[in-house]
Structure 1
Amino acid sequence: MSMDLLNIARTGVLASQAQLAVTSNNIANVNTQGYHRQVAEQSSLESQRLGDHFYGAGTYISDVKRIYNEYAARELRIGQTGASEAQTTQTKMGELDQLFSQIGKSIPQGLNDLFASLNSLADLPDDMGIRGMVLGSAGQLADNLNQMQSHLDGQMKQTNDQIAGITDRINEISKELGQLNQELMKSQGEDAQLLDRQNALIQELSQYAQVNVIPLDSGAKSIMLGGAVMLVSAEVSMSLGTMVGDPHPGELRVVVNIGSQSQAIDPAKMGGQLGALFAFRDETLIPAELELGQLSLGVADAFNQANGQGFDLNGEMGQNIFKDINDPAMSVGRVGGFGSNAGTANLRVNIDDVGLLSGNSFELKYTAPATYELKDTVTGSVTPLTLTGTQLDGANGFSIHIDSGAFSDGDKFEIRPSSGAAAGISVVMADGREIAAAAPKITADTANSGNTSVEMVSIDDRTDTKFPLTGSELTFEINTTTSMFEVFDANGTSLGAPAAYAPPSISAHGFSFDVATTAGATDRFTFDLSFAPGDNSNAVAMANLSEAKLMNSGGSTLSDVYQGTKISVGGKAKAADIAAGTAQSVYLQAYNRVQSESGVNLDEEAANLMRFQQAYQASARIMTTANEIFETLLNAVR
């Protein structure tokens, strides 16, 4: 019986020793990231029969379990993905909001300075110093727009670099998970240390994208990203890569490499940091760039048109102050053809009416034999276009020209009418004398139909004997139905028989003008093209552009376009702050749940340490007792 006591005591000592080892390991790893608490399960040895009774034979450690709840771990991964996505969005939106609020404030200030200088010019239209100040203000505004676009380009590059960096880290994790799966398959998924390492990598992966985990019977786990991309299949690791954008090369894409093939991943399904970066770039940064380009087109077009309506100090019609809105430097990136296109069409976008532009991007799709559809990517509205010669008409504010090649069925193009304008805008006027502060006097007859309007194009010869000046004005009677016109002097005397003109231009008596009509009619316009250096009427008209609703189909001023973008960015930044707080709360709830089950509680482990220590000591005391009994028995028979 003493030997039985000794064996029982021995099993108790060994079991307590194992319990102490597991508890000590838990305490030692209390600060180890990804460590899951372990528990030694203790069971009784099979009973032994003595006579009519069964006696216990001791204890043993039947298993060492890793406390892991798959459901809680899944909730933690989901919470991690949401929190990382929200945090990334908050950071990127905060950077962009700061950019618009601090550096971007120079743009409305530049507009105000330009209008202020034009008001000064209206007071002293022949002052060369003020004229130089107007050009200086215009140049500073163009520089501010260039600088803002440069900062937005920096945001684009930074975002692309972050996407590439995350892709590289995902590939590193993919390789590690494949190697861990190989080791786990050897132990049938029983090695707790490997499982903790695997879980930590999967948890990190969930920061970058949505993760789906598929446990395998072999002890390994297959990993999917975004619910569609198999990243790890048992011991086989896939890899992600980056490619130039399609159709715009500067907008990086993420692809999954399968053998020698690469397949683009839909960023909207990724979630996590990757999804947030793509969403920020595509839904906020690019639209902000396009709206800045819309403002740049509006500034250039408004002041060029206004200056073109007046006389400069040389008595000539005013020329462009800013670079023409359809100059190649102002139109970079307006058209992007998709790589899947089979056709050879080379397109160009021409801005016809800046006021009708929305700042949105569009998708042009061709369906054979002759269907052209333009889809607004923001509103989703589809507009059919009409091909006239090599020009597609029907879009609001712009037309699409086929410079060369031909379409194939299914060809698609992305159209961004305002792209490149903020980077390309610049002042082309070098001499302040060319600012057209004076204005011609063109009077429409009160009996006109209202269907016809005229616009000055050029002064061709002020020395013409019939050139219209004050007191010797000329009246043009224009029949827009037959494209004929007749000229009368100030006394109402005809200067010749009616003559034909080629719409829209009429050139006569030293000047040229365009005629626009909405319906055929016979209307009269009187021209007084006198020139005086002190005339400020066109300078006043240019200064009044500050209040004119020139943009977004008459709904916005120039300043409103920028303020609208700034407010939109600010609103998204505020929403991102709120979303980040909410997502963090959800993550912390999931984290605390995992910790309550799998985390190490030092108080609990300290109590276990004392309990198992006492059990060890008690088992050791049994051994001492068994030894004493044995010694007593030996002494009794000596």
Structure 2
Amino acid sequence: MGLNPLATATAGLRATQAAIGLVSQNVANAGTAGYVRRTLTSVASGSGNAGVATGTITRSFDTASLKQLRLETSGSGYTATKSGVLSQLDKLYGTPGSATALDGILNTFTQSLQTLAANPSSAAARSTVLSSASTLAGKIGSIAGSVQDIRSGIESRLGTETKDASALLAGIASLNVKIQNTSDDGSRADLLDQRDQKVNQLAGYFDIQTQEQRDGTLTVMTGSGVTLVDRGSAASLSFDGRSTLGPNATYSTDADKRGVGTITATTPGGGRIDLGEPGVLRSGTIAAEFELRDTILPQAQRQLDDLASGLATSLTDRTVTGTVSGTGASLDIAGIQAGNRLTVPVKGPGGSVRNVVLIASNGPTQGVDPGRTDDGSGFAQTFDISGGPATYGPKLQEALTAMASRLSTAGYPSVPALTAGGTGSTVTIAGTGGWSAAGASANVTVPGSAGDLSGGYPQIALFVDGSGNTLVTGSFDGGSQLAGLAQRLKLNPAVSGNTAALVASSGTDATVSSTRAQFVYDALTTKPHTFSSASGIGGVSAPYSTSVAGFAQDVIAAQGSASANAQSLDDGQGVALATAQSRFSQSAGVSVDEEMSNLIALQTAYGANARVLTAARDMLDTLLRI
């Protein structure tokens, strides 16, 4: 008898014993998070492949399901973060219809105006108007302050999550090195499990894609293609956060202008990549936090600023409409103050119309971000009114020339060709070279100051900018007055000290009249007011016209709808994540029943090999006894 059967049986015992040990390991780790089921593949060996040898230990899972799991993990982090913050934002406005909600407080204020108009001689009615007006301004300021608190909280979370993500990248690179230098299959499988867990955790922060190399290492990139881990090298992430964010704190690719923190990825070679730039990160909690901090919450702030501005300016401004003649339009802007706007719809050679907004200023002309005006798609420039009406025409021409030069330098394909002139406070804007003014209008603030409570006109500065108790005109002198106005809006102290101004007939006639109270009520509830397209209410391509009360209702409805939609998306994403987890678990998880079945088969094989050895032993004993 040859010895091949003996060697084969011995090798079979070793292979079967190793397989039994692996089954036992699988069963022992059936509930261990991140553990992937192992399998042992035996290979033929010996002369004529008559023997068997222990093969390699491999992890059993579906690669496609792992990729999907990471994709859904990023998506779930993104939707859950947005849903949570939008729900928090919606709650700031209160339960619609309740007395303490924004709409309830606004309704209380307008009702008090109706009461005063019906009984202007009532001192109690005047006090009620002032009290409800102060409560309304305080509510708007409180909501806006909370919006900035949420932004500051997100800024803090970004710093914490950046540190965690950077540690994960370093851990993945370290595991890459260990995997590359490990020859033991069992230890290598453990390291691969650890690396997958870190990659899965990283996917919760932002969208990633991975590529396994031939040496077993893993390259990790963002969804947009920024390499974060390459074999044993990892980029380090840092976040230059701010402790507190205000309404003027915005993101910019220019570090000198940026008022918020950003994530910088520093590669081993010293390269620096801004991950906070829009479009670099597309999913995960960090991507959602960037979007909330830099887009969604600033828009909520803008809505509140626009509401505050509407409350104030609808009570102080009059609208002047121009007359069109040929390619030009003329209007009288007597009394115009810094911040008041002259809006000219300009028709180009192709027939398209675009607004040119010229903003009164007490300083040299300068370009203005149109997003800070009523029409974010228009062109905006300031013009100097400090020299008085005699200079309006020349200063408007100076502003138009500067605007055309600025737009040409910026590469705009179609720059309006306009000229300006006029006599005194009557100005004319005309087009040349195929351009024409399709109209002109201006808002002019009537009271000369916050303390001007003359009753000769119905306009009254009931609300003022609390920074200096100044009129709300939308001035750009020293920065945009609109930015953060919601936090600064307050009841005019001059009115609080002279409640008779609410019902005075004129500056010289103290006879009680309901004219002003009725004017204020109508200005807030029925008179159309133009709100910025940047607020996102009524569309983002054109200014939105509605009453101040209607705008407040629209803001509340928009926030409620955004919160409900975000919750719905998160619910759907939760289902997708659960499905992906289940699919991956089915391919990678340990089934105790299946392992027990494998164990029975292995025990049978072990017994068969043992009987061969027993027979060989008996045969040798018999031979030795002969």
Which TM-score applies when normalising by structure 1? 0.67
Instruction: Choose between structure 1 and 2: higher strand proportion.
Output: 1
Q: Deviations over 1:322-372 (max 9, x none)?
A: xx9979xxxxxxxxxxxxxxxxx9979799xx9x836x6999799999534
Alignment of 1:475-514 (within 5 A): none
- Using the TM superposition, name which of 185-194 and 271-280 deviates more: 185-194
Aligned twin of 2:192 = 195
- Offset, 1:125: 2.1
**Would the aligned equivalents of 1:110 and 1:140 in 2 still touch at CA under 8 Å?**
yes
1:70 equivalenced with 2:70 (yes/no): no
CA RMSD of aligned residues (A): 3.9
Paired with 2:548 and 2:615, the residues of 1 have a C-alpha distance of: 98
Paired with 1:82 and 1:76, the residues of 2 have a C-alpha distance of: 10
1:116 equivalenced with 2:95 (yes/no): no
Aligned twin of 1:215 = 212
Paired with 1:617 and 1:417, the residues of 2 have a C-alpha distance of: 88
Of the candidates 570, 582, 596, which is equivalent to residue 572 of structure 2? Answer: 582
1:435 equivalenced with 2:505 (yes/no): no
- Offset, 1:147: 0.8
Q: Structure 2 counterpart of 1:187, which letter?
A: T
- Offset, 1:84: 2.1
Change (3 A) 1:617 1:395: farther
Aligned twin of 2:330 = none
Paired with 1:22 and 1:396, the residues of 2 have a C-alpha distance of: 82
Question: The residue matched to 2:279 in structure 1 has which SS?
Answer: helix
Q: Deviations over 1:30-63 (max 9, x none)?
A: 2222222211111333247xxxxxxx75422122
- Offset, 1:8: 3.1
Change (3 A) 1:292 1:384: farther
- Offset, 1:197: 1.1
**Would the aligned equivalents of 1:121 and 1:539 in 2 still touch at CA under 8 Å?**
yes
Of the candidates 522, 528, 532, which is equivalent to residue 550 of structure 1? Answer: 528
**Would the aligned equivalents of 2:239 and 2:262 in 1 still touch at CA under 8 Å?**
yes
Q: Deviations over 1:575-597 (max 9, x none)?
A: 22332233333333433333332
Change (3 A) 1:383 1:277: farther
Aligned twin of 1:619 = 609
Change (3 A) 1:384 1:370: closer
**Would the aligned equivalents of 1:240 and 1:256 in 2 still touch at CA under 8 Å?**
yes
1:168 equivalenced with 2:185 (yes/no): no
Change (3 A) 1:395 1:597: farther
Change (3 A) 1:562 1:205: same
1:255 equivalenced with 2:264 (yes/no): yes
Q: Deviations over 1:142-164 (max 9, x none)?
A: 11111111111111112222222
Q: Structure 1 counterpart of 2:405, which letter?
A: T
Q: Structure 1 counterpart of 2:260, which letter?
A: E
Change (3 A) 1:368 1:179: farther
Change (3 A) 1:6 1:46: closer
1:129 equivalenced with 2:193 (yes/no): no
Q: Structure 2 counterpart of 1:20, which letter?
A: I
Aligned twin of 2:586 = 596
Paired with 2:179 and 2:144, the residues of 1 have a C-alpha distance of: 52
The runs of 5 or more residues in structure 1 that have no matched partner are 49-55, 307-323, 328-344, 375-379, 404-414, 441-458, 463-529
Q: Structure 2 counterpart of 1:23, which letter?
A: V
Identity of aligned residues (%): 22
Aligned twin of 2:8 = 8
**Would the aligned equivalents of 1:145 and 1:296 in 2 still touch at CA under 8 Å?**
yes
**Would the aligned equivalents of 2:83 and 2:563 in 1 still touch at CA under 8 Å?**
yes
Paired with 1:396 and 1:124, the residues of 2 have a C-alpha distance of: 34
**Would the aligned equivalents of 2:220 and 2:230 in 1 still touch at CA under 8 Å?**
yes
**Would the aligned equivalents of 1:297 and 1:325 in 2 still touch at CA under 8 Å?**
no
Paired with 1:388 and 1:184, the residues of 2 have a C-alpha distance of: 74
Paired with 1:110 and 1:140, the residues of 2 have a C-alpha distance of: 7
Question: The residue matched to 1:284 in structure 2 has which SS?
Answer: helix
- Offset, 1:80: 2.0
Question: The residue matched to 2:260 in structure 1 has which SS?
Answer: coil
Alignment of 1:439-454 (within 5 A): 439-440=505-506
- Using the TM superposition, name which of 193-202 and 253-262 deviates more: 253-262
**Would the aligned equivalents of 1:177 and 1:232 in 2 still touch at CA under 8 Å?**
yes
**Would the aligned equivalents of 1:84 and 1:208 in 2 still touch at CA under 8 Å?**
yes
Change (3 A) 1:381 1:73: farther
The structure number with the bigger radius of gyration is: 1
- Offset, 1:17: 0.7
- Offset, 1:275: 1.7
- Offset, 1:170: 1.0
- Offset, 1:111: 1.6
1:286 equivalenced with 2:293 (yes/no): no
- Offset, 1:293: 0.7
Alignment of 1:523-538 (within 5 A): 530-533=509-512, 535-538=513-516
1:357 equivalenced with 2:354 (yes/no): no
Question: The residue matched to 1:426 in structure 2 has which SS?
Answer: strand
Aligned twin of 1:269 = 280
Change (3 A) 1:176 1:150: same
Question: The residue matched to 2:229 in structure 1 has which SS?
Answer: strand
- Offset, 1:384: 6.1
1:371 equivalenced with 2:405 (yes/no): yes
Of the candidates 227, 230, 234, which is equivalent to residue 233 of structure 1? Answer: 230
Paired with 1:363 and 1:262, the residues of 2 have a C-alpha distance of: 35
Question: The residue matched to 1:618 in structure 2 has which SS?
Answer: helix
Q: Structure 2 counterpart of 1:616, which letter?
A: Y
Paired with 2:501 and 2:237, the residues of 1 have a C-alpha distance of: 57
Q: Deviations over 1:577-625 (max 9, x none)?
A: 3322333333334333333322222211111112212222332233222
Q: Structure 1 counterpart of 2:75, which letter?
A: G
1:541 equivalenced with 2:605 (yes/no): no
- Offset, 1:305: 5.4
Aligned twin of 2:333 = none
**Would the aligned equivalents of 1:68 and 1:597 in 2 still touch at CA under 8 Å?**
yes
Q: Deviations over 1:88-107 (max 9, x none)?
A: 22222222223334499532
- Offset, 1:531: 3.9
Change (3 A) 1:567 1:212: same
Aligned twin of 1:91 = 84
**Would the aligned equivalents of 2:115 and 2:125 in 1 still touch at CA under 8 Å?**
yes
Paired with 1:363 and 1:632, the residues of 2 have a C-alpha distance of: 108
Q: Structure 2 counterpart of 1:177, which letter?
A: I
**Would the aligned equivalents of 2:78 and 2:284 in 1 still touch at CA under 8 Å?**
yes
